[in-house]
Amino acid sequence: MTLPLLQARPPRGPRRDPFIERDAGALVLVREDAAHFPGGHAAGLAHVETEAQIAALCAAGLALLPIGAQSSLTGGATPRGDIVVPLQRFKALQVGDGWVRAGAGVTLDELDAALAPHGVWYPPVPTYTAATVGGIVATNAAGPATFRHGVTRDWVRALTVVLASGDVLDLERGQVTVSGDDWFIDTSRGRVRVPVPSYPWPRLRKCSAGYYAARPYDPLDLFIGAEGTLGIVTEVTLRTVPRPPARFDALVACPSIGAATALVASLERASARRDIDLASVEYIDARSLALLHENGDLGTHEVAVAPDTDALLFLEIELPDSPGDATLWRAVETAADPEAPGAPRSVRAVRTLCRLFTDHDVEGGAELVFPGQGRRRGQLVALREAVPSAVNQRVAAAHAIDSAVSKLAGDFIVPGDRVADLVDACRREFTTRGLDGAIWGHISDGNLHPNVLPTSRADTEAGRDALLAVGRHVLAWGGSPLAEHGVGRNPLKQAFLEMLHGTKGVAEMRAIKHALDPHDRLSRGVLLARVDQDSR
């Protein structure tokens, strides 16, 4: 039997030492990420632009924290005395037939701009498109379109990774398949044995919950979702596909979460039959709508919602052809036609959608957005993004009064038939503790983000208890409490990691970390809590 062995190589590029900036003014700019995790402080800021410079930092035995856009929602990009290594200068881009090779610092906006002239795209982008390619690989990022297009892992063909030893590993999908309990890397410091974890991996649409474990096992997958703890990714090769000719959107108000989940189930069945090409369904609950109303966002984005709306859905549908808006309007007017022989697929899709709205008695609360209505589509996308912004504003205001107040959010995924149960459980656990909370997320994936709105230290403590209780429900239903944001430094999410994989599973992760980073110098305390010091 062939040994599952990979060969590391020396780094490429000029071997001059990188400049490490120690100026306090520069360091304060990188001391926290989007989670505003407390206690962030950096020992230095390394200016790197080649893999050889990163390798030199690794070989020097420094504690390093690679960062992209610092858009982490878990504290994973918040330094704790590390040398921060921004990868923003890794901007290489090469577009090929069905693939793109991108530097880790390329943003998703830059990636899309480079792909558009070629008529192709990378579909599974998260909602924050200023995120970087290296960042989405670090967390196995997902987003609204997971239902149709999967997650980052499904699209990665190759990676270049600088290991903690300073060696470089070029990984290609399918290069090595591991059937046993170990695989190996030949490095400049000898052969490294890397154990394969034995814990089961959740069979869900998305999961960012520690080191990947599903079989058949490809070592490439280990570095996707590893949150920078096993190596520093410098380049990524992603699959691409032809861009859809057009998109059709809809905003639908539902009177209850039960009505919303019933409609989503019908949409997903229609998509499975290829009657429609459903890309995503986003969900905003009544409390989130109230926050938008308080902020004036509903007026700003010209959205009127009936007072009895309990769930607002935003649908994205990809059209297989590009009929004009007038043609699609006529499809709406003749939606009752059963099959309309000879009609383009896009026309039949719109008719199917309208019939489903009628069948579920929500047509009165539905707004259709046609491909030519780019401004309107932009308003609705912005409305969805305004929800977390509204929550963050209130948490920040409470934190300014009491520093013990912090953001408390869930990232839960459950099977589709348990989404209504998940919403009910969140509301129940919040209400019994006297907590205010809002819920939104990617309902077509079963992935929701309940957020506590704490106003005091007591609310913060109760909020953690509430989310832990919801996490136990999620696990009982066959879901995961860690869907798309990763684990980071968040103690609640690290507790979820142990709930999901058990103490034995976490111990197996520590064994993998020790094999590839024996001195714990890469992203220390991220994903796996440090055991040699307190969390200050």
* 24 pLDDT above the threshold of 80: yes
pLDDT at 143: 80
* 534 pLDDT above the threshold of 50: no
pLDDT at 536: 37
Query: Model confidence over 344-360: pLDDT tens digits?
Result: 888 989 999 999 999 99
The C-alpha atoms of residue 97 and residue 429 are separated, in whole angstroms, by 50
Q: How large a percentage of the chain has pLDDT more than 70?
A: 98
Neighbours of 530 (CB within 10 A): 13
Range 60-68 average pLDDT: 96
Decide: 79 and 59 in contact? Cβ < 8 Å: no
* 33 pLDDT above the threshold of 80: yes
* 503 pLDDT above the threshold of 70: yes
Query: Model confidence over 227-266: pLDDT tens digits?
Result: 999 999 999 999 999 999 899 999 999 999 999 999 999 9
pLDDT at 322: 84
Query: Model confidence over 68-116: pLDDT tens digits?
Result: 999 998 999 999 999 999 999 999 999 999 999 999 999 999 999 999 9
Range 131-143 average pLDDT: 95
Record the tokens describing residue 284, joined without a space: 């905003």
The C-alpha atoms of residue 173 and residue 361 are separated, in whole angstroms, by 47
The CA distances from residue 277 to 316, 337, 353, in Å, are 9, 20, 11
The C-alpha atoms of residue 511 and residue 372 are separated, in whole angstroms, by 54
Beta bridge partners of 522: 64
Q: 332: closest CA among 382, 367, 293?
A: 367
Q: 460: closest CA among 504, 419, 421, 405?
A: 405
Decide: 131 and 148 in contact? Cβ < 8 Å: no
End-to-end CA distance of the chain: 48
Query: Model confidence over 110-128: pLDDT tens digits?
Result: 999 999 999 999 999 998 8
Query: Model confidence over 183-218: pLDDT tens digits?
Result: 999 999 999 999 999 999 999 999 999 999 999 999
Task: Give Dmax over CA atoms of the chain in angstroms.
Answer: 71
The C-alpha atoms of residue 161 and residue 395 are separated, in whole angstroms, by 37
Decide: 416 and 423 in contact? Cβ < 8 Å: no
The C-alpha atoms of residue 212 and residue 154 are separated, in whole angstroms, by 13
| Count, residues in the chain | 536
pLDDT at 340: 59
pLDDT at 491: 94
Range 145-149 average pLDDT: 93
Which domains are assigned to the chain?
11-86 (3.30.43.10), 93-242 (3.30.465.10), 246-382 (3.30.70), 402-486 (3.30.70.2740)
Q: 226: closest CA among 205, 212, 236?
A: 212
Neighbours of 188 (CB within 10 A): 12
The CA distances from residue 461 to 34, 91, 435, 454, 511, in Å, are 21, 42, 11, 9, 32
Q: pTM of the predicted model, to two decimals?
A: 0.94
* 172 pLDDT above the threshold of 60: yes
pLDDT at 334: 79
Mean residue pLDDT of the chain comes to 94
